[in-house]
Structure 1
């Protein structure tokens, strides 16, 4: 998918054995909110670089994979709809919105929402 190259690369890095490399793709004024629902409860990870580091520290490295189903870029913002899979099986749907720097190289703002309650593929 070429319409959202930064988010595509972001999730490829997140699925790797070294997800902390996404820290190289954020700006000094980076802000994020990740709302992570398991269906039985939800947690929010928010903040700046330190907030992203907290999120990265609690992840199961290379266990879940992200699969982008569709995406679009509008005025310096990339938006994707996708799903996470565990051992190839659906686990949750997610959407992500990233505001990029003018050159499209880094993320300034990141909003991700995840839930197993709605599935877009069936």
Structure 2
């Protein structure tokens, strides 16, 4: 992963670990999120909400099976933006993009993630 987006790099490192709940320590009090999750072939789900929404998202996801790779990242003011891909056992699974808005203390206030296996960005 790239070091140019320190918060999202840490976020996805936690998500890839045996203890993804550590991301809960990274969110602001006014946190809000949406994760648009496509499995392909028009099958998708949206996970939304505040801290409780994130807890529900974490509870339903597989642990330590996917690896997030950030291919491109940028910091623009209070925002971090990335484009990347997930792999399972080294094989491509999906592309994703993520945008995080940070507060003055560096905690995540807003998080928008979209992922799909239907589009692969080649390097």
Equivalent position SS for 1:121: coil
TM-aligned CA deviation for residue 73 of structure 1: 0.5
Residues 68-90 of structure 1: CA deviation (Å, up to 9, x unaligned): 00100101100000001010100
Give the deviation of 1:2 after TM superposition.
Answer: 2.5
2:118 and 2:39 map into 1 onto residues whose CA distance is 9
Residue 19 (structure 2) pairs with residue 18 (structure 1): yes
3-state SS in 1 of match to 2:40: coil
Distance in 1 (CA, whole Å) between partners of 2:105 and 2:79 is 12
Specify which of 59, 62, 69 is matched with residue 67 of structure 1.
Answer: 69
Separation in 1, partners of 2:77, 2:22: 26
Unaligned runs of 5+ in 2: none
2:79 corresponds to: 77
TM-score (norm 1): 0.96
For the aligned residues, what is the CA RMSD?
0.9
Report the secondary structure of 1:50's partner residue: helix
3-state DSSP class of the match of 1:120?
coil
Give the equivalent residue in structure 1 for 2:9: 8
Query: 1:47 aligned to 2:53?
Result: no
SS of aligned partner of 2:10: helix
Q: Distance in 2 between matches of 1:98 and 1:54?
A: 19
Aligned residue for 2:67, secondary structure, equals strand
Residue 111 of structure 1 is matched in structure 2 by 112
Provide the rounded CA distance (Å) in 1 between the counterparts of 2:39 and 2:57. 15
